[in-house]
Structure 1
Amino acid sequence: MSTETIAKHILYVDDEPQALKYFARLFGDRFEIATAESVDAALEYLREHGDRVSVVVTDQRMPEKSGVQLMEQIRYEFPNIARILLTAYSELELAIQSVNEGGAFRYLKKPLDENEMIGTLLRAQEYHGVLDERDRLLREKISVLHRLIVMDRIRGLATAATALGCRVRNSWQALVAYMQQSPVKQRIAMQMDEIAALNMTAIARREAEMMVRTVELLLRDTVAPASGRNSDLALPAWLGQFVQGRQAAAADEDVTIRLVDPPSETQIASDEGLLTQLLEILLRRLCDLQEQPTEIQIGAQPLADGVQLDLKGCFADLDSGQVASLFAAAIPLQKWPIGLDMDLLSAFMLAHHLGGSLQIIPAAPQGPGFSLKLPATAPTADPEPAAIDPQWFDTVYESLEQWEQEIMEG
């Protein structure tokens, strides 16, 4: 039998200091041993070093909390750690409880038989290794499936952007900007069970349907509202009318809209219908993100070649889940129904069609909210077909690889 030190170690839990020393001395030449003198101390150790522990051996009778209670908690928090219960008493009911509630790998009686314990620990470590390898393979499989789903969605969006190129200016550039700010680029961690629960066949069929709907939604949001001409808009007065016209609807959602520091004598030439649609989408997204009565501030500041409009919510910074909810067009997870909440992509399309750009600001002091930059005069020439750069797909693949690596390591 090999005496080589095993990388992952054994955590022994007992309220008797002498028992802890005896266990470490008896088995320390074969295994790396860590000890804890109570259930709470064991859990604290595992929450800091759980990735380094393969087996927990625990005495049953300890003050305040029992060994079975410890194993039950470990089963919930660290299911791959093998659990062995020790007791000085032969109780059938306890043995059954240790398996049913604590998921015990083995149930052993004190005093310890050295050879039996060595054999049990080696088998427990092998069992732990099998579970870890199973999970690694599952994560790899899920990672491949998820990449296929995401890339299929992105290819569909690229097709939609190309199809819209004859109606919407800079549609391809808008999609690239949208993807660059999405969680795919930011590598936001996600729950593995959400991906594992996806029905691949149903998704493939639904994706085809959703791509058709996506084009319809984008056309509805970006072409239908167009006035067809650029109007000269005195920005302070125009923003004031916009805010006033939406106060009542916002109040129904416990939101107050306030115009802050409007620029004096600032004027832009833009399609009023599309600009109105764009601001309404951004305002709606902010209203959806707030969870309690709040205020949304709309401000503007002149730029050398145009204007910057800022929509800011007076609530906490956006967490990763809230940011991800803005990108349902690219992240096909169950938590965010496929095909819904696509309007932020429409907002990017509108911003770029008007010759500007859109930035999501997740945190204070500028956010949470959106920053929209518009030129003094929106383009009037007919849109040209989008020139697709194949290297862009390579960038998305690289982002996915980094994202998935972070998931695997997490």
Structure 2
Amino acid sequence: MQPFYDYKKFAMLYVDDEEKSLKYFQRAFGETFRVLTANNAADGLKVLQAHRPDIALILTDQRMPGETGVQFLEKARPVHPRAVRIMVTAFSDLNSAIDAVNTGAIYKYITKPWDVQELEVTLKRAMEFYIVQNDRDLLLREKLSALHKMVITDRVISLGVLAAGLGHHVRNAMVAVRTFIDLAPEMLHREQADLEELRHPEFWTSFYRKVQHKVKFIVDLLDGLDQVADSAHLSNEARVRLHEVIAECWNDHRGAFTDAGLNVEFQIPQNLPEMVVDHPKFTRLIHLLFRDALINLTSGNTLSIEAASVANEGPDENVVIRVSDNGPGLPADAVASVFDPFFLRADKPQEFGINLMACYFIVYHHGGRIDVDSRPDQGLTMNIHLPLAPKPLAAENDSEEFLSKVMINDRLWERLLSSN
């Protein structure tokens, strides 16, 4: 069975200084192909630049006033490297053919007068070659994108599990530190030590308060990791309205945003369908998004939160929450690391990327995903895709399965490099 190709999916450009040849070519092949024409190399280059995404084939006559066909193809090649190039001439010029192959990288060399049927077959094969090549490139880009997302997911999950595991041991050590700090004032009182007799009582009082604050910060951080990385199961499922949850969380952060001089815009339709979520975790997700904005945005910036219901493949339906700002943004090479717990988005060493890593975990546990887009000086945009009714994720308790997942990065890239 012959494969079906849409020969009008892409256009072909024919450059010839003879008007009759252009008209004849248009009349002979216009019904089968989309044909663009130009009567000199300069105009041909302008047409190519204007219609580059639509052009698959470039045909040109060799001997034209001004630039020759070889010279035109040489200029056209960097403009559209993927285009299939064909040389058409009425002269049997071997040197021109060699130059066309070497500098223009042509697909075929055709002499005039051409046979319409033979040329149509040649054009069809060339168009099929381009379509297959284009489809292959699209599939490869999709494959790379999918692998890239899998690698990011693997890294975030591995770091999260590692952080949660280490958190258990850090917490045990912090218990002793916190106990000592809490007991210090009482023990000083028992020892009948008078702070006023110390040389620098303000230093010890201030230092004591700072240590208490830092200990509380670490304990809260560990609590946050425990809440998002302890289990992939949704244990407190509830039906919620998105606008109500966001409004409830916003009330807790309104004052902080006002003090920071930040603006907030909401576009959450009240008629969105109900969502089935783990209510504590989902509420924490919204709180973390607000907290991340407070950390990374500066006075005058605006945080925008929008939502919409979109149809998914199959019977399922998703809600997409779009969180964007007009802050400093990130360079393209840093976007992949935005969920890394050790990534610093703002110049604040005390605030690592724990918040967004926790967001990633919560969304992942709800069967969703987060797409991030950012450019320097153009802000950060996160699109959070969540199913209305998440399906439970399989638990990964087996140590061999976990090690396999940790090593998946190398295997993914080995597959990619070994694939055709």
Normalised TM-score (structure 1): 0.46
Larger Rg computed on CA atoms: 2
Normalised TM-score (structure 2): 0.45
Higher relative contact order, structure no. (Cα contacts within 8 Å, ≥ 6 residues apart): 1
